[in-house]
Amino acid sequence: MENFQFNSNTQIFFGKGQISNLPNEIKKYGKKVLLVYGGGSIKKIGLYDTVINLLKDFEIHELNGVKPNPKIESVREGVKLCREHSIEVVLAVGGGSVIDCAKIISAATFCKEDAWDMIKKSIKTETALPIITVLTLSATGSEYDAGAIIANKSENEKLGYESELIRPKTSILDPEYTFTVSAYQTAAGSVDIISHILEQYFVPYSPFLADKLCEAVLKTVIKYLPKAIENPKDYEARGQLMWASSIADNGILSLGSRITAFSCHGIEHELNGYYDTTHGVGLAIITIRWMRYILNEKANEEILKRFANYGINVWDIDSNLEKLEISKKSIDLTEKFFKSLGIPMSLTELGIGEEHFEEMASNSVKYGFLEYAFVPLDKNDVIKILKMCL
Ligand code: NZQ
Ligand code: ZN
Protein backbone atom coordinates (compact mmCIF):
# COMPACT_ATOMS: atom_id res chain seq x y z
CA MET A 1 0.00 0.00 0.00
CA GLU A 2 1.06 3.58 -0.61
CA ASN A 3 1.62 5.87 2.39
CA PHE A 4 -1.17 8.34 3.05
CA GLN A 5 -2.37 11.11 5.32
CA PHE A 6 -6.07 11.65 5.69
CA ASN A 7 -8.18 14.29 7.38
CA SER A 8 -11.71 15.01 6.25
CA ASN A 9 -12.69 17.16 9.13
CA THR A 10 -16.27 18.10 8.28
CA GLN A 11 -19.01 17.61 10.84
CA ILE A 12 -21.74 15.68 9.02
CA PHE A 13 -25.39 15.76 10.07
CA PHE A 14 -27.20 13.18 7.95
CA GLY A 15 -30.94 12.57 7.78
CA LYS A 16 -34.41 13.98 8.29
CA GLY A 17 -34.71 17.13 10.36
CA GLN A 18 -30.97 17.64 10.80
CA ILE A 19 -31.40 21.26 9.72
CA SER A 20 -32.34 22.00 13.35
CA ASN A 21 -28.60 21.86 14.12
CA LEU A 22 -27.89 24.81 11.86
CA PRO A 23 -28.09 27.66 14.43
CA ASN A 24 -25.75 25.91 16.87
CA GLU A 25 -23.25 25.13 14.15
CA ILE A 26 -23.21 28.71 12.87
CA LYS A 27 -23.06 30.17 16.39
CA LYS A 28 -19.61 28.58 16.84
CA TYR A 29 -18.20 31.04 14.30
CA GLY A 30 -20.23 34.23 14.63
CA LYS A 31 -23.48 36.08 13.96
CA LYS A 32 -22.89 37.67 10.58
CA VAL A 33 -23.74 35.22 7.84
CA LEU A 34 -23.48 35.34 4.06
CA LEU A 35 -26.22 33.06 2.72
CA VAL A 36 -25.26 31.84 -0.77
CA TYR A 37 -27.81 30.12 -3.00
CA GLY A 38 -28.74 29.51 -6.63
CA GLY A 39 -31.59 30.34 -8.94
CA GLY A 40 -34.49 29.69 -6.61
CA SER A 41 -34.90 25.95 -6.12
CA ILE A 42 -34.40 26.39 -2.36
CA LYS A 43 -37.36 28.78 -2.27
CA LYS A 44 -39.57 26.33 -4.18
CA ILE A 45 -38.86 23.53 -1.71
CA GLY A 46 -39.41 25.74 1.34
CA LEU A 47 -35.82 25.38 2.51
CA TYR A 48 -35.12 29.11 2.20
CA ASP A 49 -37.95 29.90 4.66
CA THR A 50 -36.79 27.18 7.03
CA VAL A 51 -33.25 28.57 7.06
CA ILE A 52 -34.38 32.18 7.52
CA ASN A 53 -36.68 31.18 10.40
CA LEU A 54 -33.97 29.17 12.12
CA LEU A 55 -31.51 32.04 11.77
CA LYS A 56 -33.74 34.89 12.97
CA ASP A 57 -31.20 35.81 15.67
CA PHE A 58 -28.40 36.14 13.12
CA GLU A 59 -27.52 38.98 10.74
CA ILE A 60 -28.07 37.54 7.27
CA HIS A 61 -26.79 38.96 4.00
CA GLU A 62 -27.62 37.19 0.75
CA LEU A 63 -25.86 36.29 -2.47
CA ASN A 64 -28.40 34.65 -4.75
CA GLY A 65 -28.52 33.65 -8.41
CA VAL A 66 -25.36 31.53 -8.39
CA LYS A 67 -25.52 29.68 -11.70
CA PRO A 68 -24.56 26.11 -12.57
CA ASN A 69 -20.87 26.05 -13.51
CA PRO A 70 -20.49 29.00 -11.12
CA LYS A 71 -19.07 32.14 -12.62
CA ILE A 72 -16.25 34.25 -11.26
CA GLU A 73 -18.57 37.31 -11.25
CA SER A 74 -20.70 35.73 -8.49
CA VAL A 75 -17.56 35.05 -6.48
CA ARG A 76 -16.48 38.69 -6.78
CA GLU A 77 -19.94 39.86 -5.69
CA GLY A 78 -19.76 37.58 -2.65
CA VAL A 79 -16.26 38.77 -1.72
CA LYS A 80 -17.51 42.36 -1.83
CA LEU A 81 -20.41 41.52 0.49
CA CYS A 82 -18.13 39.69 2.95
CA ARG A 83 -15.75 42.63 3.13
CA GLU A 84 -18.49 45.31 3.34
CA HIS A 85 -20.41 43.54 6.11
CA SER A 86 -17.52 41.91 7.99
CA ILE A 87 -19.11 38.51 7.41
CA GLU A 88 -18.07 35.80 9.88
CA VAL A 89 -19.55 32.63 8.32
CA VAL A 90 -20.48 31.62 4.77
CA LEU A 91 -23.57 29.41 4.51
CA ALA A 92 -24.06 27.62 1.18
CA VAL A 93 -27.51 26.14 0.54
CA GLY A 94 -27.68 24.25 -2.76
CA GLY A 95 -25.76 21.97 -5.08
CA GLY A 96 -22.09 21.83 -6.01
CA SER A 97 -22.13 25.14 -7.88
CA VAL A 98 -23.40 27.07 -4.87
CA ILE A 99 -20.99 25.33 -2.51
CA ASP A 100 -18.01 25.87 -4.82
CA CYS A 101 -18.87 29.54 -5.19
CA ALA A 102 -19.13 29.89 -1.39
CA LYS A 103 -15.77 28.16 -0.93
CA ILE A 104 -13.90 30.53 -3.21
CA ILE A 105 -15.65 33.54 -1.66
CA SER A 106 -14.51 32.43 1.76
CA ALA A 107 -10.85 32.27 0.68
CA ALA A 108 -10.78 35.22 -1.74
CA THR A 109 -12.19 37.57 0.90
CA PHE A 110 -8.72 37.59 2.48
CA CYS A 111 -6.70 37.43 -0.72
CA LYS A 112 -4.96 40.64 -1.81
CA GLU A 113 -5.37 39.67 -5.46
CA ASP A 114 -8.53 39.22 -7.50
CA ALA A 115 -10.38 35.92 -6.94
CA TRP A 116 -9.63 34.70 -10.49
CA ASP A 117 -5.91 35.38 -10.05
CA MET A 118 -6.03 33.50 -6.77
CA ILE A 119 -7.40 30.47 -8.61
CA LYS A 120 -5.29 30.74 -11.74
CA LYS A 121 -2.01 31.37 -9.94
CA SER A 122 -2.91 28.85 -7.19
CA ILE A 123 -2.19 31.50 -4.54
CA LYS A 124 -2.10 29.71 -1.20
CA THR A 125 -4.96 30.51 1.18
CA GLU A 126 -3.71 31.68 4.57
CA THR A 127 -7.11 32.59 6.07
CA ALA A 128 -10.65 31.75 5.04
CA LEU A 129 -14.11 32.26 6.46
CA PRO A 130 -15.68 29.09 7.87
CA ILE A 131 -18.13 27.43 5.49
CA ILE A 132 -21.29 25.54 6.38
CA THR A 133 -23.33 23.75 3.73
CA VAL A 134 -26.86 22.45 3.36
CA LEU A 135 -26.79 20.09 0.38
CA THR A 136 -29.72 19.90 -2.06
CA LEU A 137 -28.27 17.80 -4.90
CA SER A 138 -26.26 14.57 -4.71
CA ALA A 139 -23.39 14.83 -7.14
CA THR A 140 -20.08 16.59 -6.65
CA GLY A 141 -19.03 15.74 -3.12
CA SER A 142 -18.14 19.41 -2.61
CA GLU A 143 -19.97 19.22 0.73
CA TYR A 144 -17.22 16.91 2.03
CA ASP A 145 -14.05 17.92 0.18
CA ALA A 146 -11.54 20.72 -0.03
CA GLY A 147 -11.89 21.72 -3.69
CA ALA A 148 -13.93 24.11 -5.80
CA ILE A 149 -14.28 24.72 -9.55
CA ILE A 150 -15.09 28.13 -11.05
CA ALA A 151 -15.73 29.23 -14.66
CA ASN A 152 -14.50 32.42 -16.26
CA LYS A 153 -16.36 32.98 -19.52
CA SER A 154 -14.21 35.94 -20.57
CA GLU A 155 -11.18 33.64 -20.61
CA ASN A 156 -13.07 30.50 -21.74
CA GLU A 157 -11.73 28.64 -18.75
CA LYS A 158 -12.97 26.62 -15.80
CA LEU A 159 -10.37 25.91 -13.16
CA GLY A 160 -10.13 24.15 -9.84
CA TYR A 161 -8.73 25.39 -6.54
CA GLU A 162 -7.88 23.43 -3.42
CA SER A 163 -7.21 24.35 0.18
CA GLU A 164 -7.85 22.60 3.47
CA LEU A 165 -9.20 25.95 4.68
CA ILE A 166 -12.16 25.79 2.32
CA ARG A 167 -13.28 22.36 3.46
CA PRO A 168 -16.77 22.84 4.99
CA LYS A 169 -16.81 22.89 8.79
CA THR A 170 -20.28 21.37 8.80
CA SER A 171 -22.50 19.84 6.13
CA ILE A 172 -26.16 19.05 6.60
CA LEU A 173 -27.31 16.19 4.37
CA ASP A 174 -31.04 15.63 4.39
CA PRO A 175 -32.10 13.38 1.48
CA GLU A 176 -35.59 14.93 1.54
CA TYR A 177 -34.12 18.14 0.11
CA THR A 178 -33.26 16.21 -3.05
CA PHE A 179 -36.82 14.93 -3.69
CA THR A 180 -37.40 17.78 -6.18
CA VAL A 181 -34.22 17.29 -8.19
CA SER A 182 -35.28 16.57 -11.79
CA ALA A 183 -34.67 13.17 -13.37
CA TYR A 184 -32.08 14.83 -15.63
CA GLN A 185 -30.10 16.40 -12.76
CA THR A 186 -30.46 13.26 -10.65
CA ALA A 187 -28.97 11.21 -13.47
CA ALA A 188 -26.23 13.75 -14.21
CA GLY A 189 -25.34 14.02 -10.52
CA SER A 190 -25.06 10.26 -10.19
CA VAL A 191 -22.89 9.97 -13.29
CA ASP A 192 -20.62 12.50 -11.58
CA ILE A 193 -20.48 10.25 -8.51
CA ILE A 194 -19.68 7.24 -10.72
CA SER A 195 -17.01 9.20 -12.55
CA HIS A 196 -15.32 10.32 -9.31
CA ILE A 197 -15.01 6.69 -8.35
CA LEU A 198 -13.82 5.49 -11.77
CA GLU A 199 -11.13 8.19 -11.77
CA GLN A 200 -9.80 6.65 -8.53
CA TYR A 201 -10.32 3.07 -9.71
CA PHE A 202 -8.47 3.23 -13.03
CA VAL A 203 -5.08 3.87 -11.45
CA PRO A 204 -1.65 2.22 -11.67
CA TYR A 205 -2.00 0.63 -8.25
CA SER A 206 -4.87 0.15 -5.79
CA PRO A 207 -5.00 -2.07 -2.73
CA PHE A 208 -7.73 -4.72 -2.43
CA LEU A 209 -9.61 -2.71 0.19
CA ALA A 210 -9.70 0.44 -1.96
CA ASP A 211 -10.98 -1.60 -4.91
CA LYS A 212 -13.73 -3.17 -2.82
CA LEU A 213 -14.81 0.20 -1.38
CA CYS A 214 -14.97 1.71 -4.88
CA GLU A 215 -16.89 -1.27 -6.25
CA ALA A 216 -19.37 -1.14 -3.36
CA VAL A 217 -20.19 2.52 -3.91
CA LEU A 218 -20.42 2.03 -7.69
CA LYS A 219 -22.87 -0.84 -7.17
CA THR A 220 -24.86 1.28 -4.74
CA VAL A 221 -25.30 4.08 -7.27
CA ILE A 222 -26.15 1.65 -10.08
CA LYS A 223 -28.79 0.03 -7.85
CA TYR A 224 -30.42 3.14 -6.39
CA LEU A 225 -30.24 5.69 -9.22
CA PRO A 226 -33.03 4.06 -11.29
CA LYS A 227 -35.15 3.86 -8.13
CA ALA A 228 -34.66 7.58 -7.40
CA ILE A 229 -35.59 8.45 -10.98
CA GLU A 230 -38.68 6.24 -10.91
CA ASN A 231 -39.84 7.52 -7.55
CA PRO A 232 -38.24 10.88 -6.73
CA LYS A 233 -39.52 10.69 -3.14
CA ASP A 234 -37.90 7.32 -2.40
CA TYR A 235 -36.07 8.34 0.79
CA GLU A 236 -33.89 5.24 0.88
CA ALA A 237 -32.72 5.72 -2.70
CA ARG A 238 -32.12 9.45 -2.26
CA GLY A 239 -30.27 8.76 0.98
CA GLN A 240 -27.97 6.17 -0.56
CA LEU A 241 -27.13 8.52 -3.43
CA MET A 242 -26.51 11.42 -1.07
CA TRP A 243 -24.01 9.58 1.11
CA ALA A 244 -22.40 8.03 -1.99
CA SER A 245 -21.93 11.56 -3.34
CA SER A 246 -20.19 12.70 -0.18
CA ILE A 247 -17.73 9.83 0.11
CA ALA A 248 -16.98 9.44 -3.60
CA ASP A 249 -14.77 12.50 -3.94
CA ASN A 250 -13.10 13.10 -0.59
CA GLY A 251 -10.39 10.49 -1.06
CA ILE A 252 -11.56 7.97 1.51
CA LEU A 253 -12.37 5.31 -1.10
CA SER A 254 -8.86 5.21 -2.50
CA LEU A 255 -6.60 5.57 0.51
CA GLY A 256 -3.44 3.60 -0.17
CA SER A 257 -3.92 3.75 -3.96
CA ARG A 258 -1.52 5.46 -6.36
CA ILE A 259 -3.85 8.18 -7.59
CA THR A 260 -3.08 9.96 -10.85
CA ALA A 261 -4.82 12.69 -12.86
CA PHE A 262 -8.63 12.57 -13.20
CA SER A 263 -8.63 12.11 -16.99
CA CYS A 264 -12.34 12.48 -17.85
CA HIS A 265 -12.72 15.42 -15.46
CA GLY A 266 -9.69 17.09 -17.03
CA ILE A 267 -11.39 16.91 -20.43
CA GLU A 268 -14.92 17.69 -19.22
CA HIS A 269 -13.99 20.87 -17.36
CA GLU A 270 -12.74 22.35 -20.62
CA LEU A 271 -16.22 22.01 -22.16
CA ASN A 272 -17.45 24.50 -19.58
CA GLY A 273 -14.94 27.10 -20.66
CA TYR A 274 -17.02 27.47 -23.83
CA TYR A 275 -20.40 25.89 -23.12
CA ASP A 276 -22.75 25.67 -20.16
CA THR A 277 -23.09 21.93 -20.28
CA THR A 278 -24.12 19.93 -17.23
CA HIS A 279 -21.00 18.45 -15.60
CA GLY A 280 -22.38 14.90 -15.23
CA VAL A 281 -23.76 14.80 -18.77
CA GLY A 282 -20.40 15.85 -20.19
CA LEU A 283 -18.78 13.14 -18.08
CA ALA A 284 -21.17 10.44 -19.34
CA ILE A 285 -20.33 11.33 -22.94
CA ILE A 286 -16.57 11.54 -22.38
CA THR A 287 -16.18 8.54 -20.06
CA ILE A 288 -17.47 6.00 -22.59
CA ARG A 289 -15.21 7.35 -25.35
CA TRP A 290 -12.22 7.59 -23.01
CA MET A 291 -12.77 3.94 -22.07
CA ARG A 292 -13.04 2.83 -25.70
CA TYR A 293 -10.01 4.90 -26.70
CA ILE A 294 -7.68 3.57 -24.03
CA LEU A 295 -8.84 0.01 -24.66
CA ASN A 296 -8.48 0.23 -28.46
CA GLU A 297 -5.39 2.43 -28.73
CA LYS A 298 -3.37 1.95 -25.58
CA ALA A 299 -4.29 -1.45 -24.20
CA ASN A 300 -1.68 -3.35 -22.22
CA GLU A 301 -1.92 -6.05 -19.57
CA GLU A 302 -2.41 -3.50 -16.78
CA ILE A 303 -5.28 -1.74 -18.53
CA LEU A 304 -6.97 -5.04 -19.38
CA LYS A 305 -6.64 -6.13 -15.76
CA ARG A 306 -8.34 -2.95 -14.53
CA PHE A 307 -11.22 -3.30 -16.99
CA ALA A 308 -11.58 -6.97 -16.12
CA ASN A 309 -11.82 -6.17 -12.39
CA TYR A 310 -14.39 -3.53 -13.17
CA GLY A 311 -16.43 -5.82 -15.43
CA ILE A 312 -16.42 -8.79 -13.09
CA ASN A 313 -16.93 -7.00 -9.77
CA VAL A 314 -19.21 -4.13 -10.78
CA TRP A 315 -21.16 -5.56 -13.73
CA ASP A 316 -21.06 -9.25 -12.72
CA ILE A 317 -19.58 -10.37 -16.06
CA ASP A 318 -18.47 -14.02 -16.24
CA SER A 319 -14.88 -14.16 -14.98
CA ASN A 320 -14.11 -17.16 -17.24
CA LEU A 321 -14.23 -14.99 -20.36
CA GLU A 322 -11.08 -13.51 -21.92
CA LYS A 323 -9.99 -10.21 -20.35
CA LEU A 324 -10.49 -8.34 -23.62
CA GLU A 325 -14.05 -9.60 -23.96
CA ILE A 326 -14.84 -8.70 -20.34
CA SER A 327 -13.37 -5.25 -20.95
CA LYS A 328 -15.51 -4.61 -24.01
CA LYS A 329 -18.63 -5.88 -22.29
CA SER A 330 -17.97 -3.67 -19.27
CA ILE A 331 -17.86 -0.57 -21.48
CA ASP A 332 -21.03 -1.67 -23.32
CA LEU A 333 -22.85 -2.15 -20.01
CA THR A 334 -21.70 1.23 -18.69
CA GLU A 335 -22.94 2.87 -21.89
CA LYS A 336 -26.25 1.00 -21.76
CA PHE A 337 -26.74 2.17 -18.18
CA PHE A 338 -26.01 5.83 -19.04
CA LYS A 339 -28.33 5.62 -22.07
CA SER A 340 -31.12 4.18 -19.93
CA LEU A 341 -31.02 7.40 -17.87
CA GLY A 342 -32.26 9.40 -20.86
CA ILE A 343 -29.42 11.89 -20.89
CA PRO A 344 -27.75 13.02 -24.14
CA MET A 345 -24.88 10.73 -25.08
CA SER A 346 -23.08 12.83 -27.70
CA LEU A 347 -21.69 16.35 -27.96
CA THR A 348 -23.68 16.82 -31.17
CA GLU A 349 -26.90 16.40 -29.18
CA LEU A 350 -25.68 19.25 -26.95
CA GLY A 351 -25.09 21.44 -30.01
CA ILE A 352 -21.32 21.24 -29.65
CA GLY A 353 -19.09 20.94 -32.73
CA GLU A 354 -15.36 20.58 -33.09
CA GLU A 355 -14.55 24.31 -33.42
CA HIS A 356 -12.79 24.64 -30.04
CA PHE A 357 -11.33 21.13 -29.75
CA GLU A 358 -7.72 22.32 -30.28
CA GLU A 359 -7.81 24.81 -27.37
CA MET A 360 -9.87 22.50 -25.20
CA ALA A 361 -7.45 19.64 -25.75
CA SER A 362 -4.32 21.64 -24.97
CA ASN A 363 -5.90 23.19 -21.87
CA SER A 364 -7.12 19.86 -20.57
CA VAL A 365 -3.62 18.38 -20.91
CA LYS A 366 -2.15 21.47 -19.20
CA TYR A 367 -4.62 22.00 -16.35
CA GLY A 368 -5.71 18.38 -16.00
CA PHE A 369 -2.12 17.01 -15.97
CA LEU A 370 -3.24 14.34 -18.43
CA GLU A 371 0.29 13.42 -19.42
CA TYR A 372 0.63 12.00 -15.91
CA ALA A 373 -2.63 10.07 -15.91
CA PHE A 374 -2.96 6.27 -15.50
CA VAL A 375 -3.07 6.16 -19.30
CA PRO A 376 -1.08 9.25 -20.32
CA LEU A 377 -2.85 11.41 -22.90
CA ASP A 378 -1.40 14.16 -25.07
CA LYS A 379 -3.24 16.82 -27.02
CA ASN A 380 -3.76 14.58 -30.06
CA ASP A 381 -5.20 11.81 -27.93
CA VAL A 382 -7.69 14.26 -26.39
CA ILE A 383 -8.70 15.61 -29.79
CA LYS A 384 -9.36 12.06 -30.95
CA ILE A 385 -11.44 11.34 -27.84
CA LEU A 386 -13.42 14.55 -28.32
CA LYS A 387 -14.10 13.65 -31.97
CA MET A 388 -15.39 10.26 -30.84
CA CYS A 389 -17.83 12.20 -28.61
CA LEU A 390 -19.48 14.03 -31.55
O1 NZQ B 1 -29.80 27.14 -9.01
P2 NZQ B 1 -30.90 26.37 -8.39
O3 NZQ B 1 -32.21 27.03 -8.49
O4 NZQ B 1 -30.57 25.92 -7.00
O5 NZQ B 1 -31.09 25.04 -9.28
C6 NZQ B 1 -30.09 24.02 -9.39
C7 NZQ B 1 -29.36 24.04 -10.74
O8 NZQ B 1 -30.17 24.56 -11.74
C9 NZQ B 1 -30.77 22.68 -9.41
N10 NZQ B 1 -31.05 22.15 -8.07
C11 NZQ B 1 -30.20 22.02 -7.02
N12 NZQ B 1 -30.84 21.47 -5.97
C13 NZQ B 1 -32.14 21.27 -6.37
C14 NZQ B 1 -32.27 21.71 -7.69
N15 NZQ B 1 -33.45 21.66 -8.36
C16 NZQ B 1 -34.50 21.16 -7.72
N17 NZQ B 1 -34.45 20.70 -6.43
C18 NZQ B 1 -33.29 20.75 -5.73
N19 NZQ B 1 -33.25 20.26 -4.49
O20 NZQ B 1 -29.86 21.82 -10.07
C21 NZQ B 1 -29.15 22.57 -11.05
C22 NZQ B 1 -27.69 22.17 -11.04
O23 NZQ B 1 -27.08 22.56 -9.82
P24 NZQ B 1 -25.49 22.50 -9.64
O25 NZQ B 1 -25.17 22.98 -8.27
O26 NZQ B 1 -24.83 23.22 -10.79
O27 NZQ B 1 -25.17 20.94 -9.82
P28 NZQ B 1 -24.02 20.06 -9.23
O29 NZQ B 1 -24.23 19.79 -7.80
O30 NZQ B 1 -23.92 18.92 -10.13
O31 NZQ B 1 -22.69 20.97 -9.33
C32 NZQ B 1 -21.95 21.05 -10.53
C33 NZQ B 1 -20.73 21.92 -10.33
O34 NZQ B 1 -19.79 21.36 -9.39
C35 NZQ B 1 -18.49 21.24 -9.99
C36 NZQ B 1 -18.83 21.06 -11.45
O37 NZQ B 1 -17.72 21.32 -12.27
C38 NZQ B 1 -19.97 22.05 -11.64
O39 NZQ B 1 -19.47 23.36 -11.80
N40 NZQ B 1 -17.72 20.16 -9.35
C41 NZQ B 1 -17.25 20.39 -8.10
C42 NZQ B 1 -16.44 19.48 -7.45
C43 NZQ B 1 -15.90 19.75 -6.10
N44 NZQ B 1 -16.03 20.91 -5.55
O45 NZQ B 1 -15.32 18.88 -5.49
C46 NZQ B 1 -16.04 18.21 -8.08
C47 NZQ B 1 -16.85 17.85 -9.28
O48 NZQ B 1 -16.10 16.97 -10.07
C49 NZQ B 1 -17.31 19.00 -10.11
O50 NZQ B 1 -16.31 19.40 -11.02
ZN1 ZN C 1 -17.16 15.60 -11.00
Name the amino acid, one letter, at 123: I
Residue pair 204/258 in contact by the 8 Å Cβ criterion: yes
Query: What Cα–Cα distance (Å) separates residue 292 from each residue in 118, 135, 379?
Result: 37, 34, 17
**pLDDT, mean of residues 172-190:** 98
Q: Is 95 in the pocket of ligand 1 (CB under 6 A)?
A: yes
% residues pLDDT > 70 (the chain):
100
Domain 11-178 has CATH 3.40.50.1970: yes
Q: Report pLDDT digits (tens) over 151-169.
A: 999 999 999 999 999 999 9
Q: How far apart, in whole angstroms, are the C-alpha atoms of residue 276 and residue 256?
A: 35
Report helix, strand or coil for 70: coil
**CATH 3.40.50.1970 placement within the chain:** 11-178
**Nearest Cα to 50, choosing from 39, 38, 63, 35?**
35
pLDDT at 216 over 90: yes
Return the half-sphere exposure (C-beta side, CA atoms, 13 A cut-off) of residue 124. Answer: 1
- Residue 176, pLDDT score: 98
CB of 368 closer than 6 angstroms to any ligand 1 atom: no
Question: Given this model, what pLDDT does residue 255 score?
Answer: 98
Domain 183-388 in CATH 1.10.10.10? The answer is: no
Measured by CA distance, the residue closest to atom 43 of ligand 1 is: 142
Q: What is the mean pLDDT of residues 3-13?
A: 95
**pTM value surpassing 0.85:** yes
Per-residue pLDDT of 32-76, as tens digits, reads: 999 999 999 999 999 999 999 999 999 999 999 999 999 999 999
pLDDT exceeds cutoff 90 at 273: no
At residue 19 the predicted structure's pLDDT band, cuts being 50, 70 and 90, is very high
Report DSSP letters for 303-340, one per residue. HHHHHHHHHHHHH---TTS-HHHHHHHHHHHHHHHHHH
Distance 18 CA to ligand 1 centre (A): 21
Q: Ligand 1: which residue has its CA nearest to atom 8?
A: 68
**β-bridge mates for residue 92, sequence order:** 36, 133
Ligand 1, atom 16, residue with closest C-alpha: 181
Among 236, 381, 208, smallest CA distance to 373 is for: 381
Ligand 1 neighbourhood includes 245 CB (under 6 angstroms): no
Digit-coded pLDDT (tens) for 118-145:
999 999 999 999 999 999 999 999 999 9
Give ranges for CATH 1.20.1090.10 in the chain: 183-388
Average pLDDT over the chain reads 97
